[in-house]
Amino acid sequence: MNNLRRAAGELLVVGLAGTELTDLERAWLKLVRPAGIILFRRNIADAHQTRALLKEASGLTASNGLRCVDVEGGTVDRLRDALAPMPSAQAVARAHANAHPRTSQKPFAFQQGSLIAQSVKVFGFNTTLAPVLDLESPDSANVMGTRAAAPTADGVTHYARGFLAGLAAHGVVGCAKHFPGLGGGTSDSHLETPSIHRTNKQIWQEDLAPYRALQKELQMVMVNHAAYPATPSKNQPASVSHYWITKVLRQRIGYRGIIFSDDLEMGGILKFVPIEEAVVECVRAGMDLMEICHSPELILRAYEALISEAEKSKTFAALLTARATRVAKLRTRFFSTPIPPPLSSSRFEALRTKIQRFAGSIANSQPAQENQPA
């Protein structure tokens, strides 16, 4: 029983309510012992506070835990107020396209990845949930905004490769998203399950081309909650689809890293199935880690649902424990570095200045109107 409880907790990455742990959060973190923590702008006031929150929360999670934050740049940048706004992937990719081919400086995508890595480490994180590998498309422009780097697979791959190299130079893990692709989506998976009417051939040749090209460089891949009716998964969200997770990502592409769900509190999955069914089906489909970003009730319901299913089914129990064992090995490989020492005030300000100068160089290379975050 203890092994099942440990395994269930170690397949979850969870969010917190505020800038400090509450007594209730301390209690359920001790019970669940999740694989990691994800923070949002509601949790981040400054570097000192964030580091303290992560240090305490990490002491209540499994060893070698994930400390996640979303810093893509542009509209998705949880550190913009606490440090400095980072330009979007689209602006960086366009600036690179307009750069002089003989320039001796590092590629813009590498510079962005490097600066984001330095930034998240200052706040105590070891993971940024970026880059976005979705293709820029008129169909999804209202939903994706400037998050997609380019309209072509080659453009996205080139940007992502530089970005990932920048992260790796500072020992920060990235997470490619949103597999198998939201480039054809016209609705927001935070609210409902998008239905993307692209064929298997289109998805393989276009949307999945960056994942195929980068699969050996990716440590984490996030799976979305969209449905693809013209494919064998029919109307089933990709996040609970054995076809997409196991047959395509694991077997056909050959990906061997961590497979991570998009937030299971999103309408894209909860309007399809309740949280209890979602987490069980995620595991059966081949998911490694499941993200639940806010509600303690949903976190505990998911945790207990995994244990309950394992108690009823020896097959599921074996699957759950084997998955937790495999992920624990990957966590040791990717996330064993502790929170680094804090920067001095002068070095923190120097980093802020670097980001501001980088943003200025991107703006000067390609005039672009960045969307402001909601």
**Segment 139-148, tens digit of pLDDT:** 888 889 999 9
pLDDT in tens, 346-367: 999 999 999 999 999 999 986 5
Cα–Cα distance list, 304 to 114, 308, 316, 356, 358 (Å) = 39, 6, 14, 46, 46
Q: Which of 70, 262, 263, 288 is catalytic?
A: 262
Active site residue 70: no
The domain 2-365: what is its CATH number? 3.20.20.300
Q: What is the pLDDT along the chain (374 residues), one digit of tens a residue?
A: 689 999 999 999 999 999 999 999 999 999 999 999 999 999 999 999 999 999 999 999 999 999 999 999 999 999 999 999 999 999 999 998 776 555 547 899 999 999 999 999 999 999 999 999 999 998 888 889 999 999 999 999 999 999 999 999 999 999 999 999 998 776 667 777 889 999 999 999 999 999 999 999 999 999 999 999 999 999 999 999 999 999 999 999 999 999 999 999 998 788 889 999 999 999 999 999 999 999 999 999 999 999 999 999 999 999 999 999 999 999 999 999 999 999 999 999 999 999 999 999 999 986 544 444 43
Query: How many Å apart are CA 153 and CA 229, to the nearest integer?
Result: 22
Handedness of CA 117, 122, 123, 125 (dihedral sign): positive
Q: Where are the domains of the chain?
A: 2-365
Going by DSSP bridges, is the β-strand pair 127-128/173-174 parallel, antiparallel, or unpaired?
Answer: parallel
Q: What pTM value is reported for the model? A: 0.94
Query: How many Å apart are CA 90 and CA 203, to the nearest integer?
Result: 21
Active site residue 242: no
- 3-class SS of residue 252: helix
DSSP per-residue string spanning 104-137:
-SPPHHHHHHHHHHHHHHHTT-SEE---B-PPP-
Helix axes 153-168, 89-98, angle to 10 degrees: 100
Q: Which of 46, 48, 81, 190 is catalytic?
A: 190
